[in-house]
Structure 1
Amino acid sequence: MTVLDMTIVNVALDHLSRAFEAPLSVIQWAVTGYSLALATVIPVTAWAVGRYGAKRVFLTAVALFTLGSGLTGLAWNAGSLIAFRVLQGLGGGMIMPVAMTVVLRAAPRERKGTMMGLLGIPVLIGPMAGPILGGVFTDSLSWRWIFFVNVPVGALTLLLGARVMRSDDERIRRPLDLAGLLTLSPGLAALLYGLTLGGERGGFGDAGVLVPLVAGAALVTAFAVRAPRAPHPLLDLRLLRRASVGRAVTTVVPFSAAYFGSMILVPLYWQQERGLSATEAGLLMAPQFLFSGTVMQFSSRVSDRVATRAIVVPGVLCAVTGFLAFAVQAGPGTPYWRLVASLALMGTGVGMTNMPVMASATRGLADSEVAAGSTALNIILQIAASVGTALTALLLTATDGFRTTLLCGAGLMALALPMAMRLPRLSPSGGTSQR
């Protein structure tokens, strides 16, 4: 539901603007505020898990997200809508990294790939289902159901979580890195805000874009410089120096940036170039996500038995080929089936790449390091997605053409290939090669 809420609101922005008699630029903050709240709260996740336990933090986060959802559905003006969306994001930001921590701690080394594949399902289904459900709820019921739908799901999650999840036996009681919190959280929020605004405005020269961008980058850099020397850093960046983690990160960053950039670019192509509705665009993208989700389950399980490199390198090649095929054919008269087939090929490659890489990054982590590792990976992916989205919007404005922007996206994704070739070449059962 947290991933779904990043896209489900997009198709209702026009309805919300009319309902509250507010400019679209103001209503857009219902999306931006949610994303920034997500980014702001993620850095504190590892500390909170160590201090209070994963079960307690998870249930608290779900309760906050569910409460925020219900209140957002009851919003009476634009200000209350944005405020409750921020509350929603503050709860939602912790859910995925805590869930990842719980699952990775429980899973033995030889099954981490399988578990990561299961965790990856929401990441793929959410963006696909969001525009479709958003359109159906808005057209057939009311925009309020976009948020009310989270309430029964959240209540069921709380019930199951309270009954099924085990309480943590050990706690890591360390002081909160207040200096780290005051640099990383606002730094990420400012950085992502600057990237988002720059993408929307088609450039980064405006003071309203440049100031938060530079300030955010400076704060994040200050955190990165200080963290390795801090006695109890908010986030242990030393984990990134390990070969298994570092190589996985350098593979997934350009790949994810290109992939999330395509998530806004392809629907715009369907709607602006081909004149389709948001719901129709979502349905045409469904095969891509279905292929991704299905292939991910197989590739994640296989990654527990064979070398990561043997899966990910063909996966990157497959995704780049599909992306490139779509880019070359993008035009006003190309048959739909050829474009959908290209996206399905791209989805197949995504399913072979993302979660096997993430599983490779976490296999070498001790239980005490999993919370910090999963938090760091979630932050890195959030930044990569924002960079990819902003870069895509900027290129689309600068080039004034879908094909050129799509070709650049395929080129960015291809940068993951040389990094993927440095991933472990031995299977998890046979040990991980660091050469």
Structure 2
Amino acid sequence: MSAAPAAPGDATLVLPPSRRILITIGVMSASTLMALDSTIANVALPSMRGSLSATTDQIAWVVTGYIIASAIATPLVAALSGRLGRKTIFLSSIVAFSVTSALCGLASSLGELVVFRVLQGVSGAAFYPLSQAILLDITPRERYGQSMAIFGLGVMVGPILGPTLGGFLTEELSWRWVFFINVPFTVGSFVLLALFLPGAARDRSRPFDLFGFVLLSLALGSLQLMLDRGEGQDWFASREILLELGIGSTALFMFLVHMLTSPSPYVSPAVFRDRNFANGLIVSAAVGVVLYSGSIVMSTFLQELRGFDVMQAGLLLAPRGLGTAVGMLLVGRLIQRYDPRGILLVGLTIVAISLVDMAHFTARTDVMPILFSGVLQGLGLGLVFVPISTIGFATLPPALRNEGASLHTLSRSLGGSAGVALSAAILSARTEGDFARSLADVAPLDRDFARLAGPLLDLSSPQGLEIVRLMLARNALETAHQATFWFLFAMVLAAVPLLLLLRRPPRAGVPAPTSAAPAPHPSDAAPEA
């Protein structure tokens, strides 16, 4: 099936509304599955560990392998879709994701499961960037906000609902169903896109930059591995972490030099000349920090301090997704009437307020304030995601959309990985440090403390000393969570000044500024079959 641009110079494809809806359902089914799979397996790790006779460190590779593989493969999507066709890559990725999901569920050993999860991460890497690029291509510019609201709904809500769904499937069926559940949805997505997604132009004139790809893959893989394993390896006290940092930093430096000097680089420098898009990448990374880290930190708070089990914690986190959905629905309408930069500022402010509220949580905090803060944070995230996507892509030349969407996805993922790693480091360091200081403070006061405790607590007995240690450890964990929420608040605050660097995107019918020249678009580009 073919479709023509709306007008000369306009990349929007003219499609019947019913066909646009079916394409949207197809691409969003795939993207939501990718978002769900980033967190759905986390709560099932203990069950997998017992079933496959693995250690805690070994089973962690089920998550780590998926994340690293996806990060490495994401930049490759733009190059392959340009040469082989966007539709071909998307459909092939859906088939591969479906097959590898089924293989993950059928795995009989840890080695098999890790290999299949790596392949699943590679297969699904195309879903985010291509879904975003496709939605932009089939949507008129004046409706970009609504289009990005739909895209953001799946991307933002998926990771939040993942633990809840994963806990339910693991308890009621088996950990294998956190993978099997993907199969029917991928089949439906494949059928819709095979029937209704139009082909796009291919660009075979630009040679594939193998050297650039190897350098970027090495940089992303090494740095991602450092972030994922740093906490367990005591960070820079470990030779492994220092080696990964050295390899990643060197490869990244070489990649940047190569990108700026090569005639046909793996990532075109032209994409960074668009000021809105470049600054939007940083804000997107900050959103990734709060989206992933906030969920994990709150989950540990609910389980370790408030005493909820995995399923209960998942249910208490679910309203955060409800807030995000409401924010997406609101912003889809507001963005047509108001400056997206103003909406972005409101969203960041709401997220910041929610984090200040969470930074005051204690082990005695009631459920209602927890639910309210979660909904508030979700609302703010919903108001942030759509404007930053709209602002970033409104002035980006259509020829750079595939690359832009890949980088947008990558920045959010890397922000999430860095945020999770830093949050875990803060939690660990503050818990150990506060516990040690509290223990040192109590030691000189043992006699007075024993007099006050009286017969309720005998400090001369091992049981009494253990009770004191547990009390101090609990208080240390509480202050550590508060410090981590303050760190996330600081990350949001740091993103606010970047709003001053953003230009208001052009309204419908107004030509976009040409500050960033489009990448070469060969006249002999062959239409995709």
Q: Is 1:281 matched up with 2:281? A: no
Q: Is 1:298 matched up with 2:316? A: no
Tell me the CA shift for residue 410 of structure 1.
Answer: 1.0
Instruction: Please show how residues 213-252 of structure 1 align to structure 2 within 5 Å.
Output: 213-252=245-284
**Is 2:91–2:194's contact at 8 Å kept on the other side of the alignment?**
yes
Q: 1:177 to 1:426 in 2, by over 3 A?
A: closer
How far, CA to CA, are the matches of 2:409 and 2:91 in structure 1? 19
Aligned partner of 1:336 in structure 2 is 367
Aligned partner of 1:322 in structure 2 is 354
**Is 1:39–1:93's contact at 8 Å kept on the other side of the alignment?**
yes
Q: Identify which range, 26-35 or 303-312, moves more after superposition.
A: 303-312
Tell me the CA shift for residue 306 of structure 1.
Answer: 2.5
Q: Secondary structure at the match of 1:199?
A: coil
Residue segments in structure 1 that go unaligned for 5+ positions in a row: none
Letter in 2 for 1:141: L
Q: Is 1:366 matched up with 2:445? A: no
Q: Is 1:383 matched up with 2:414? A: yes
How far, CA to CA, are the matches of 1:123 and 1:398 in structure 2? 31
**Is 2:218–2:247's contact at 8 Å kept on the other side of the alignment?**
no
Q: Secondary structure at the match of 2:237?
A: coil
Aligned partner of 2:40 in structure 1 is 8
How far, CA to CA, are the matches of 1:250 and 1:5 in structure 2? 24
**Is 1:199–1:389's contact at 8 Å kept on the other side of the alignment?**
no
Q: Identify which range, 132-141 or 418-427, moves more after superposition.
A: 418-427
Tell me the CA shift for residue 190 of structure 1.
Answer: 1.1
Aligned partner of 2:11 in structure 1 is none
Aligned partner of 1:411 in structure 2 is 490
Tell me the CA shift for residue 174 of structure 1.
Answer: 1.9
**Is 1:55–1:166's contact at 8 Å kept on the other side of the alignment?**
yes
**Is 2:395–2:505's contact at 8 Å kept on the other side of the alignment?**
no
Q: Can you list the C-alpha shifts for 1:177-199, whole angstroms capped at 9, x where unaligned?
A: 00111100121011111011113
Q: Secondary structure at the match of 1:415?
A: helix
**Is 2:227–2:421's contact at 8 Å kept on the other side of the alignment?**
yes
Q: Secondary structure at the match of 1:231?
A: coil
Query: Between Structure 1 and Structure 2, how many residues are aligned?
Result: 433
Aligned partner of 2:456 in structure 1 is none
How far, CA to CA, are the matches of 2:203 and 2:512 in structure 1? 29
**Is 1:255–1:415's contact at 8 Å kept on the other side of the alignment?**
no
Q: Secondary structure at the match of 1:3?
A: helix
Tell me the CA shift for residue 201 of structure 1.
Answer: 4.1
How far, CA to CA, are the matches of 1:399 and 1:431 in structure 2? 52
Q: 1:5 to 1:237 in 2, by over 3 A?
A: same
How far, CA to CA, are the matches of 2:331 and 2:232 in structure 1? 36
Instruction: Please show how residues 41-60 of structure 1 align to structure 2 within 5 Å.
Output: 41-60=73-92
How far, CA to CA, are the matches of 2:296 and 2:119 in structure 1? 25
Tell me the CA shift for residue 113 of structure 1.
Answer: 1.7
Aligned partner of 1:397 in structure 2 is 428
How far, CA to CA, are the matches of 1:24 and 1:216 in structure 2? 26
Instruction: Please show how residues 110-149 of structure 1 align to structure 2 within 5 Å.
Output: 110-149=142-181
Q: Can you list the C-alpha shifts for 1:130-165, whole angstroms capped at 9, x where unaligned?
A: 111211111111111111111111111111110111
Letter in 1 for 2:159: P
**Is 2:282–2:411's contact at 8 Å kept on the other side of the alignment?**
no
Letter in 2 for 1:216: G
How far, CA to CA, are the matches of 1:301 and 1:45 in structure 2? 31
Q: 1:44 to 1:380 in 2, by over 3 A?
A: same
Q: 1:365 to 1:172 in 2, by over 3 A?
A: farther
Q: 1:432 to 1:398 in 2, by over 3 A?
A: farther
Give the TM-score normalised by structure 1. Answer: 0.95
Tell me the CA shift for residue 212 of structure 1.
Answer: 1.1
Q: Identify which range, 380-389 or 76-85, moves more after superposition.
A: 380-389
Q: Identify which range, 235-244 or 26-35, moves more after superposition.
A: 235-244
Letter in 1 for 2:383: M
How far, CA to CA, are the matches of 2:233 and 2:333 in structure 1? 43
Instruction: Please show how residues 89-238 of structure 1 align to structure 2 within 5 Å.
Output: 89-201=121-233, 203-238=235-270
Tell me the CA shift for residue 425 of structure 1.
Answer: 4.2
Letter in 2 for 1:56: T
**Is 1:270–1:276's contact at 8 Å kept on the other side of the alignment?**
yes
How far, CA to CA, are the matches of 1:22 and 1:335 in structure 2? 37
Q: 1:427 to 1:50 in 2, by over 3 A?
A: closer
Letter in 2 for 1:211: L
Aligned partner of 2:462 in structure 1 is none
Q: Secondary structure at the match of 1:244?
A: helix
Letter in 1 for 2:429: A
Tell me the CA shift for residue 258 of structure 1.
Answer: 3.3
Tell me the CA shift for residue 432 of structure 1.
Answer: 7.2
Q: Can you list the C-alpha shifts for 1:198-218, whole angstroms capped at 9, x where unaligned?
A: 134453331122211221122
How many percent identity over aligned positions? Answer: 30
How far, CA to CA, are the matches of 1:113 and 1:147 in structure 2? 32
4+ long deviations beyond 6 Å: 430-434
Letter in 1 for 2:88: R
How far, CA to CA, are the matches of 1:5 and 1:67 in structure 2? 14
Tell me the CA shift for residue 296 of structure 1.
Answer: 1.4
**Is 2:394–2:506's contact at 8 Å kept on the other side of the alignment?**
no
How far, CA to CA, are the matches of 1:294 and 1:172 in structure 2? 42
Aligned partner of 1:422 in structure 2 is 501
Q: Can you list the C-alpha shifts for 1:300-338, whole angstroms capped at 9, x where unaligned?
A: 34324421211111111111011111112x111111101
**Is 1:202–1:397's contact at 8 Å kept on the other side of the alignment?**
no
Tell me the CA shift for residue 391 of structure 1.
Answer: 0.6
Q: Is 1:30 matched up with 2:66? A: no
Q: Secondary structure at the match of 1:142?
A: coil
Q: Can you list the C-alpha shifts for 1:337-378, whole angstroms capped at 9, x where unaligned?
A: 012212211211111112210111011122211111111111
Letter in 1 for 2:362: G
Decide which structure has the larger Cα Rg and report it: 2
**Is 2:90–2:126's contact at 8 Å kept on the other side of the alignment?**
yes
How far, CA to CA, are the matches of 1:75 and 1:206 in structure 2? 32
Q: Identify which range, 232-241 or 29-38, moves more after superposition.
A: 232-241
How far, CA to CA, are the matches of 2:109 and 2:294 in structure 1? 33
**Is 2:156–2:291's contact at 8 Å kept on the other side of the alignment?**
no
Q: Identify which range, 421-430 or 59-68, moves more after superposition.
A: 421-430
